[in-house]
Homo-oligomer: A and B are copies of this chain.
């Protein structure tokens, strides 16, 4: 690769009037880039340079779309950032109209398989885990104690079971359980217990006096499938030792059933891949997200399911997303989720500028529009087949929009509830994000990060920026990596190191 500065600049679309600096150390003032343009400032990696003389009021174009408006004259070669551009207003939801123009289906691909754990209900696990759900934070001390004890004393006897995971959360009591918003955390807990990786062995630890009745967390067929609820206030428990013994017995009953599960060959169509980005930089939308988007298309072509999310990250690009809705119904649902979130933020006295972090800005993302465009790229190009409200389960294969907040752990938690069995996470600035329920494949958007975090990143999409690999190549690499990890053949970094975030519920209602 030549050290010619022009090679360290990317235009995302032909009509763009800004380019993105891709050199790992940035480009310095005075450097000549394409079209004889001389840089007027030192411009860091991931940041934007004006490729034309711009006047105050001119649109700033990236990805061929308007990401901002110059708030001052900006001369060719200048650094373009949140100081000299203003954010365009988000598209009004009222004015949006869907027309039957959703993308044509891509050619199917066949013959791709992985080794998974088939469940009776048709879902497929990529791990075999005893999941312990809880109805209230009050029991968290006990479940942490029990989780460690099961891992130490029982798991060695059940070699086909990968792990035990207790889901402690802050919901269940001291909450406004009758507000409309309460259904979100409640169904989230309920549906996480049904995640394919728990093999439909549903075990709940409750206290007894909490507002959230543990029975509400059971599936409809709870009796048939041997679901269990243990209440710590059960009068038959004489003291702590008896509680522990009771829970251990119940756990062992579930472990015996889980231990009969074995990996069998499954079609790639059994994949439910949740996509997410966090700690994004300007490269995320150039490298990592397009690579994920390419792989998303492959999964859809193979008949699988892809989830993308993060309402506040697509809200400002909703006009670009809407035409991809498969039907009028999907379009309506998409708009309805945006509207719900607009209202939620307004009630909370927040606005859209609340997204984009200091890290995003330092990474070159000037505002939420630029971030949204880069974020949407990871959904690939196929039609949106369904919209899933927060905490709900998926109903349809293909590409699904799962409406969630953008915070990594909240989004991941809701994607788990939706039924995700594989997770792909793109980061530019770096996060050790990991979940214990599903494997998280972490993609770096730039090679500087993957070089530094060599043992925390699973796939480097940085070469796309330097032109040494292309999106298609890396998209296929990611697709194969997903199949290998889903099969248990390869382990992701966070599983090797044992780094796991907490699951965090989305509770839009008040505490009492």
Contacts and interface: CB of A to CB of B under 8 A. Distances in A.
A327 interface: no
Given A240-B497, A499-B141, A232 B350 contact: no
A509 interface: yes
Chain A, interface size category, equals 35 or more
A512 B312 contact: yes
A501 B410 contact: no
Contacts of A455: 239-241
B137 A501 contact: yes
A312 B176 CA distance: 11
A170 B504 contact: yes
DSSP majority for the A interface? loop
B138 A176 contact: no
A350 B175 CA distance: 9
Give the number of copies in the complex. 2
A259 interface: no
Contact of A139 (B241, B350, B353, B432): B432
A452 B141 contact: no
A138 B431 contact: yes
Contacts of A345: 176, 510, 512
A198 interface: no
Q: Identify the 4 closest CB pairs spanning chains A and B, nearest first.
A: A209-B359, A174-B407, A348-B510, A176-B350
A239 B456 contact: yes
A188 to B, nearest CB: 13
Interface string A143-173: 0110000000000000000000000101001
A498 B174 contact: no
Interface in A320-364: 344-345, 347-350, 353-355, 357-360, 362-363
Contacts of A180: 349
Contact of A355 (B210, B347, B504, B512): B512
Interface in A17-61: none
Contacts of A429: 208-209, 233
A279 interface: yes
A440 B70 CA distance: 58
Interface string A487-512: 00000001001111110101011111
A232 B453 CA distance: 10
A8 to B, nearest CB: 19
Interface of A: 137-142, 144-145, 168, 170, 173-181, 207-211, 213, 232-233, 235, 237-241, 278-279, 312, 344-345, 347-350, 353-355, 357-360, 362-363, 405-411, 429-434, 452-456, 494, 497-502, 504, 506, 508-512
Given A138-B279, A209-B358, 19 more contacts: A137-B502, A141-B434, A141-B494, A141-B500, A142-B499, A173-B408, A174-B410, A178-B350, A179-B349, A179-B354, A209-B357, A209-B429, A210-B357, A233-B359, A237-B452, A240-B497, A348-B510, A406-B512, A508-B511
A360 B407 CA distance: 35
A197 B53 CA distance: 60
Nearest to A242: B452
A66 to B, nearest CB: 22
A235 B453 CA distance: 10
A232 B430 contact: yes
A210 B430 CA distance: 11
A145 B238 CA distance: 34
A174 to B, nearest CB: 2
Contact of A209 (B181, B279, B348): B279
B456 A512 contact: no
Contacts of A170: 170, 407, 409-410, 502, 504
